[in-house]
């Protein structure tokens, strides 16, 4: 179920460099993503989609304009406060799985909870629950080298889920997977969005992957070229 506004750009611009070398990655972008949405952000290289993702994920800040996370102006937060926002409300899934190779799946999931100062019992319970959510309860004690690519990405998704975030940002999450594993991962994200109402923002350049989203936002030259519901979103 789609709810109130979760993420909002108000005339956001992001410039790099100055003078003749200035790059206008984003220019006066207005955008709102609501609780419970599954949104695909698309566009060619240099279109601004990755810059938008970095600002939405509190990894970067606008040059001008304002970014609101649940009505909080992120620009008014200190670096430490933005880090806390990421730690408690945001999950990330990347193209590279970024798992510790000699560490078990469960231990990989417990790491972000250590930073949050959860107890050992809490960490273990939450890690096992997240692995169950992605169908890998029986792989909790396997290291990354003992898992397939698809399984490693499921662990990466579980790691994003373990802190019970409001939103998951998935940046080309199927880029290192074959076609069958890619669609397996996308079906998992659809299920998590549908059954747990987790907002998902997906960056991809692949049309068949973007088709899983309910809404597609296309960037071009630092502007939103189109923003439309897909057939799934209209259903």
Q: What confidence tens digit (pLDDT) does each residue in 172-200 have? A: 999 888 999 999 999 999 999 999 999 99
For the beta carbon of residue 123, count every other beta carbon within 10 angstroms.
21
Burial (0-12, 13-18, 19+ Cβ within 10 Å), 228: exposed
Q: What confidence tens digit (pLDDT) does each residue in 55-96 have? A: 999 999 999 999 999 999 999 999 999 999 998 999 999 888
pTM score, two decimals? 0.91
Q: 50 falls in which pLDDT band (50, 70, 90)? A: very high
Q: 1 falls in which pLDDT band (50, 70, 90)? A: low
Supply 137's token pair.
């309860």
33: pLDDT strictly greater than 50? yes
* pLDDT (0 to 100) of residue 19: 86
* pLDDT (0 to 100) of residue 232: 62
In terms of residue numbers, what domain contains 56?
5-234
Give the DSSP H/E element, type plus range, for residue 104: none
Burial (0-12, 13-18, 19+ Cβ within 10 Å), 137: middle
Q: What confidence tens digit (pLDDT) does each residue in 119-173 have? A: 999 999 999 999 999 999 999 999 998 999 999 999 999 999 999 999 999 999 9
Mean pLDDT of 90-114: 92
Supply 168's token pair.
């998951």
Q: Would you say 12 and 173 are in contact if contact means Cβ atoms under 8 Å apart?
A: no
Mean pLDDT of 190-213: 94
The Cα–Cα gap between 160 and 209 comes to 19
Helices (H) and strands (E) in the chain, counts: 8, 10
Supply 153's token pair.
């990405």
The Cα–Cα gap between 139 and 99 comes to 14
Supply 172's token pair.
């080309």
β-bridge mates for residue 32, sequence order: 8
* φ, ψ (nearest 5 deg) of residue 16: -120, 140
Q: What is the CATH number of the domain that holds 17?
A: 3.40.50.300
Count of structural domains, the chain:
1
Burial 190-216 (b: 16+ CB within 10 A, else e): bebbeeeebbbbbbbeeeebbebbbbb
* pLDDT (0 to 100) of residue 234: 43
The Cα–Cα gap between 179 and 176 comes to 10
* pLDDT (0 to 100) of residue 235: 42
């Amino acid at each position: 179920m789609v709810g109130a506004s979760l993420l909002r750009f108000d005339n956001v611009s992001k410039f790099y460099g100055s003078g003749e070398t200035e790059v206008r990655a984003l220019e006066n972008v207005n955008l709102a993503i609501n609780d419970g949405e599954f949104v695909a952000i698309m566009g060619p290289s240099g279109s601004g989609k990755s810059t938008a993702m970095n600002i939405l994920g509190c990894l970067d800040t606008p040059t001008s304009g304002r970014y609101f996370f649940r009505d909080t102006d992120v620009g008014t937060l200190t670096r430490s406060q933005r880090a806390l926002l990421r730690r408690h409300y945001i999950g990330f899934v990347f193209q590279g799985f970024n798992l510790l190779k000699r560490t078990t799946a469960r231990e990989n999931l417990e790491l972000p909870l250590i930073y949050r100062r959860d107890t050992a019992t809490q960490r273990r319970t939450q890690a096992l629950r997240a692995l169950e959510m992605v169908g890998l309860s029986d792989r909790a004690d396997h290291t990354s080298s003992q898992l397939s690519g698809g399984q490693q990405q499921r662990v990466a998704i579980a790691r994003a889920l373990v802190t019970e975030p409001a939103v998951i940002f998935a940046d080309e999450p199927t880029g290192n997977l074959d076609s069958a594993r890619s669609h397996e991962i996308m079906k998992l994200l659809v299920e998590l969005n549908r059954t747990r109402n987790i907002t998902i923002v997906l960056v991809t350049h692949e049309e068949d992957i973007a088709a899983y989203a309910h809404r597609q936002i296309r960037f071009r030259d630092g502007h939103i070229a189109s923003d439309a519901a897909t057939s799934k979103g209209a259903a």
